[in-house]
């Protein structure tokens, strides 16, 4: 049997686009002699549709889309994901389903059994789990058709009490097909492959895996669809961060076949490619073309600007330099050098007049109190007003340049430098921002060396450095990582060699600043625990604060 893997970039709720992509791939599969073509989980709706699933009209349009695809499925089988109705009198109203189409009609529906309900996943909010296990029979092959999480209960600490493949193996399948929507983080590709290999080895049959590719707001899907032989060896692997298509002869799997593109093991390269794709898709799917960036001469805005230029084209990234009385000459020069290196448009708009106007307006009400963080925040907010005004006037999307370290401890100004339509590096710790800058400069100097090597500073007062308020970033980031990603408590982190006072201070900052993160733009997710939809913390709690 020849199986076509169709790895596509879907658009949530854009049924015409999704159906057209699917129909094109079916024709392509037919032209290349495939017997069966496989699409991803919830391909028709896009993933994750979230509360669109609460609208009957949305689910009905998914069924209409399926009916447009079905008549084309003559001479070829098609597996495609979509939400379907649960007509039982009890249970959730929907299933997360895989439709098997052949001979011009719907032959079989297979429903997802294991519904993830952790981190970014919220599937049990909408879907009823499958409880009946059947094999898909097609052209003399017995196929165990599974959906994403259905293959993930193979860890030493199983999350679910059911393992769908244990039920299906009794029916003696010849192969496993898994359709998935597996979001990217920089460790996910290797973990995913290990899970799939465990299944192929355990059941000693080949495995076909088809994943989404592309960005859906903050969630990034990296593709990397796979075919494994019955020994768990990768035989075919589709591209990462790009649409791809491959026809595989399952009767003649050769473990020595060359992969089209080897997996990138460099996590910084993966993060870079994911962020570029995330920016490009966010703009493209919203119908925007141009970004605006407040370029300070610091490393965060420099990296953000370069990533945007790669995603959108340098001509579509408008950089605005907003110097104040505290800005150093070299910061302005560094920012200008960067935009000239890439040929990006820019303007310089000093904020002194706006800052003076705010100081004068507020002076009678500040009661002669000395300058403090209030005046620092005023500068950031003047900049924010200017950037948002330009965004409104010309239709740019403002890119937020805050990194994860700053966002974690609240080192940013609401309605100032925390403004934006998209947070590009909000899931990238400061130490990794430096690594990204070095990666960007891997072939030639794009980001001026002085931007990378100088001590980080917000430049909101004379001689200010980030280290005045925060520990060195290599220390801060490790504590943050242990708390946020690894969910370790203060005692565990102290036992790793950090001072109790420092750990207490940092964790208190993280928890006290939840209210700020609640108001930030969507953050492109590149780690296993990003701020946003996958990390749900109460604002008014007292834990460690």
d(CA 447, CA 341): 8
Q: Which tokens hold the place of 95? A: 């299933």
pLDDT at 484 over 60: yes
For the segment 254-276, the average pLDDT, to the nearest whole number, is 73
pLDDT at 313: 98
Tokens of 198: 């465990």
Return the minimum-mean-pLDDT range out of 174-188, 207-221, 427-441, 454-468. Answer: 454-468
Fold agreement between 2-265 and 269-470: no
Q: Catalytic annotation on 445?
A: no
Choose among 443, 459, 481, 409: nearest CA to 301.
Answer: 459
Distance, C-alpha 248 to centroid of its chain? 29
| DSSP SS3 for 363 | helix
Tell me if residue 267 is catalytic: no
Q: How far apart are CA 516 and CA 399, in angstroms?
A: 17
Mean pLDDT is lowest, of 105-109, 302-306, 455-459, for 455-459
Helix/strand/coil (H, E, C) string of 12-45? CCCHHHHHHHHHHHHHHHHHCCCCEEECCCCCCC
Q: Which region among 61-65, 408-412, 416-420, 466-470 has the lowest average model confidence (pLDDT)?
A: 466-470
| Catalytic entry in 2, 112, 285, 432 | 112
Q: Is 529 a catalytic residue?
A: no
Confidence of residue 459 (pLDDT cuts 50, 70, 90): low
- pLDDT(456) > 80: no
| 236 CB-contact burial (10 Å; exposed 0-12 / middle 13-18 / buried 19+) | buried
Count of other CB atoms within 10 angstroms of residue 500: 11
Mean pLDDT across the stretch 257-265?
51
For 152-208, how does the pLDDT look when each residue is reduced to its tens digit (9 = 90+)? Answer: 999 877 899 999 999 999 999 999 999 999 999 999 889 999 999 999 999 999 999
Per-residue pLDDT at 172 = 97
What class has domain 269-470? alpha beta
pLDDT computed for residue 330 by the predictor = 80
Residue extents of the structural domains in the chain? 2-265, 269-470
pTM for the structure as a whole = 0.95
Give 379-390 pLDDT, tens digit per residue.
Answer: 999 999 999 999
* pLDDT tops 50 at residue 260: no
Residue 272 backbone phi and psi in degrees, to 5? -55, -50
Q: Give the span between the Cα atoms of 53 and 291, in whole angstroms.
A: 31
Question: Is residue 261 very low, low, confident or very high in pLDDT (cuts 50, 70, 90)?
Answer: very low
Residue 293 has pLDDT above 90, yes or no: yes
**% of the chain beyond a pLDDT of 90:** 90
Looking at residue 62, its pLDDT comes to 98
Per-residue pLDDT, 464: 66
Three-state DSSP state, 508:
helix
- Cβ neighbours for 191, distance < 8 A, ≥ 6 positions apart: none
Q: Within 10 Å of residue 481's Cβ, how many Cβ atoms? A: 19
Would you say 181 and 213 are in contact if contact means Cβ atoms under 8 Å apart? no
Report pLDDT for 47.
98
Label residue 494 exposed, middle or buried (CB < 10 Å: 0-12, 13-18, 19+). Answer: middle
Find the mean pLDDT for residues 54-80.
98
Mean pLDDT of the chain: 95
Task: Report which of residues 403 and 327 the model is more confident about.
Answer: 403
Catalytic residue among 148, 237, 516, 529: 148
Region 442-471: mean pLDDT is: 82
Catalytic residue among 41, 149, 376, 406: 41
CATH topology (fold) of 2-265: Nitrilase/N-carbamoyl-D-aminoacid amidohydrolase (3.60.110)
List, edge to edge, every strand of the sheet that includes 397-400: 346-348, 317-321, 291-294, 397-400, 422-423
Return the minimum-mean-pLDDT range out of 2-16, 402-416, 463-477, 525-539.
463-477
Categorize the per-residue pLDDT at 460 as very low, low, confident or very high, splitting at 50, 70 and 90.
Answer: low
């Amino acid at each position: 049997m020849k199986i076509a893997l169709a790895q596509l970039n879907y658009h949530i709720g854009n049924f015409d686009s999704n159906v057209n992509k699917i129909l094109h791939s079916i024709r392509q599969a037919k032209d290349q002699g495939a017997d069966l073509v496989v699409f991803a989980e919830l391909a028709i709706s896009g993933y994750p549709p979230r509360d669109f699933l609460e609208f009957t009209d949305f689910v009905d349009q998914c069924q209409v889309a399926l009916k447009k695809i079905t008549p084309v499925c003559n001479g070829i089988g098609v597996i495609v994901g979509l939400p379907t109705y649960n007509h039982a009198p009890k249970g959730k109203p929907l299933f997360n389903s895989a439709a098997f189409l052949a001979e011009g009609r719907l032959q079989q529906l297979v429903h997802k059994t294991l519904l993830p309900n952790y981190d970014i996943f919220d599937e049990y909010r909408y879907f009823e789990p499958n409880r009946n296990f059947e094999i898909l029979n097609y052209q003399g092959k017995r196929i165990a058709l599974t959906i994403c999480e259905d293959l993930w209960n193979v860890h030493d600490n199983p999350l679910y009490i059911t393992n769908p493949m244990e039920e299906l193996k009794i029916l003696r399948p010849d192969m496993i097909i898994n359709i998935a929507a597996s979001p990217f983080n920089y460790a996910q590709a290797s973990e995913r492959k290990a899970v799939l290999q465990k299944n192929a080895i355990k059941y000693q049959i080949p495995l076909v895996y088809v994943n989404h590719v592309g960005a859906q707001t903050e969630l990034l899907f990296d593709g990397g669809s796979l075919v494994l032989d019955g020994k768990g060896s990768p035989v075919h692997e589709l591209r990462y961060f790009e649409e791809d298509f491959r026809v595989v002869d399952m009767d003649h799997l050769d473990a020595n076949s060359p992969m089209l593109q080897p997996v990138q093991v460099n996590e910084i390269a993966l993060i870079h490619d994911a962020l570029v794709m995330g920016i490009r898709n966010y703009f493209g799917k919203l119908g925007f073309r141009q970004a605006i960036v407040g370029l300070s001469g610091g490393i965060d805005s420099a990296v953000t600007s370069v990533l945007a230029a790669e995603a959108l084209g340098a001509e579509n990234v408008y950089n605005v330099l907003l110097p104040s009385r505290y800005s150093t000459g070299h910061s302005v020069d560094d920012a200008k050098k960067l935009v000239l290196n890439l040929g990006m448009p820019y303007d310089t708009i000093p904020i002194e007049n706006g800052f003076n106007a705010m100081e004068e307006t507020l002076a009678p009400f500040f009661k002669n109190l000395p300058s403090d963080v209030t005046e620092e925040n005023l500068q950031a907010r003047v900049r924010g007003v200017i950037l948002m005004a330009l965004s409104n006037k010309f239709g740019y999307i403002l890119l937020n340049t805050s990194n994860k370290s700053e966002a974690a401890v609240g080192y940013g100004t609401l309605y100032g430098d925390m403004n934006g339509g998209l947070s590009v590096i909000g899931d990238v710790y400061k130490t990794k921002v430096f690594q990204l800058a070095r990666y960007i400069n891997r072939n030639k100097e794009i980001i001026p060396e002085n931007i990378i090597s100088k001590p980080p500073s917000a430049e909101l007062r004379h001689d200010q450095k980030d280290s005045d308020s925060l520990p060195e970033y290599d220390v801060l980031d490790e504590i943050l990582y242990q708390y946020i990603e690894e969910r370790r408590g203060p005692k565990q982190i102290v036992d790793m060699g950090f001072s109790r006072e420092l750990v207490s201070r940092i964790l208190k900052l993280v928890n006290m600043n939840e209210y700020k993160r609640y108001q930030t733009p969507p953050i492109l997710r590149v780690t296993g625990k990003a701020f946003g939809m996958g990390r749900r913390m109460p604002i008014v709690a007292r834990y460690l604060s």
